[in-house]
């Protein structure tokens, strides 16, 4: 079976203009969501949630605090990655309970793992915990971008937005969350000139160090 990962990664780019008339099939969107769900994260804890913004009014509001980037309203779908702001013992215990259920083992047998996670996470400062949780969303983002490219679905990751404003619009603080990334998904417009530009990346000899 031919490996097309490099071809697909060369095909993808940060789409600047989406074709608003093209929508992602519900079945394809479910595959992308499952890719995010299966993404790696530290300990497998997934200290974040992903919000699918379908409400057009909310998307308009988000666009106004995201430098008026039109992708937010033109794309088929919009995802907001949001880290848990005070991740700690509650999330860790829930994860342990879930693991015990899925693997059909006593939760008590996982106590050593739980203690390790608690020692690593809860000893961080509140800022350190939030930074750590926020970094995990970027791992999930990478999985999403690769999965979308494999399906020939365009995806644009965005950090260019007023985080506090997006948090307020989506009422994320009340949920114990804070937005880290916006990802727009859909299909590129033929008039988006960016798609025709050559991809610019560091050459291997500059990027990689062999020791």
The CATH number of the domain holding residue 170 is 3.40.109.10
Q: Give the model's pLDDT for residue 1.
A: 56
Q: Which residues of 80-101 are buried (b: 16+ CB within 10 A; e: fewer)?
A: bbbbbbebbeebbeebbeebee
**Sheet of strand 154-158: strand arrangement:** 48-52, 77-84, 177-186, 154-158
Q: Quote the CA–CA distance of 74 and 16 in Å, as a whole number.
A: 10
Residue ranges making up the domain that contains 39: 24-89+127-187
Residue 60 forms part of a structural domain: yes
How big is the chain by its Cα radius of gyration, in Å? 19
Please check whether residue 31 lies inside any domain of the structure: yes
DSSP at 70: T
Task: Locate 76 and state its tokens.
Answer: 């088929």
Q: Do the domain assignments include residue 10?
A: no
φ, ψ of residue 181 in degrees (nearest 5): -145, 145
Residue spans of the chain under pLDDT 70: 1
Does residue 80 lie within any of the structural domains? yes
Q: pTM score, two decimals? A: 0.96
Give how many domains the chain has, as a whole number.
1
Looking at residue 5, what is its pLDDT?
A: 94
Quick one: pLDDT at residue 136? 98
Whether 178 maps to a domain, the answer reads yes
Of the candidates 61, 40, 46, the one whose C-alpha atom is nearest the C-alpha of residue 142 is: 40
Answer yes or no: is 197 within a domain.
no
- What is the rounded distance in angstroms from the CA atom of residue 140 to the CA atom of residue 46? 9
Q: Are 158 and 184 in contact (CB under 8 A)?
A: yes
In a domain, 3, yes or no: no
138 assigned to some structural domain: yes
């Amino acid at each position: 079976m031919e490996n097309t990962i490099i071809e697909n990664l060369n095909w993808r780019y940060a789409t600047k203009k989406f074709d608003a008339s093209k929508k992602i099939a519900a079945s394809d969107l479910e595959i992308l969501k499952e890719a995010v769900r299966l993404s790696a994260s530290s300990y497998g804890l997934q200290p974040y949630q992903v919000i699918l913004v379908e409400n057009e009014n909310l998307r308009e509001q988000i666009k106004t605090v995201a430098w008026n980037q039109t992708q937010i309203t033109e794309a088929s779908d919009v995802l907001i990655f949001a880290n848990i702001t005070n991740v700690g013992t509650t999330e860790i215990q829930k994860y342990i309970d879930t693991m015990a259920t899925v693997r059909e083992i006593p939760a008590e047998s996982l106590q050593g793992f739980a203690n390790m996670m608690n020692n690593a996470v809860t000893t961080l400062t509140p800022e350190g915990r939030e930074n750590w949780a926020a970094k995990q969303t970027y791992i999930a983002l990478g999985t999403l971008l690769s999965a979308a490219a494999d399906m020939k679905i365009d995806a644009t990751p965005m950090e260019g937005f007023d985080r506090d404003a997006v948090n307020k619009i989506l009422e994320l603080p009340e949920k114990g969350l804070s937005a880290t990334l916006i990802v727009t998904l859909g299909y590129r417009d033929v008039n988006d000139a960016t798609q025709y530009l050559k991809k610019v990346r560091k050459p291997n000899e500059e990027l990689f160090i062999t020791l």
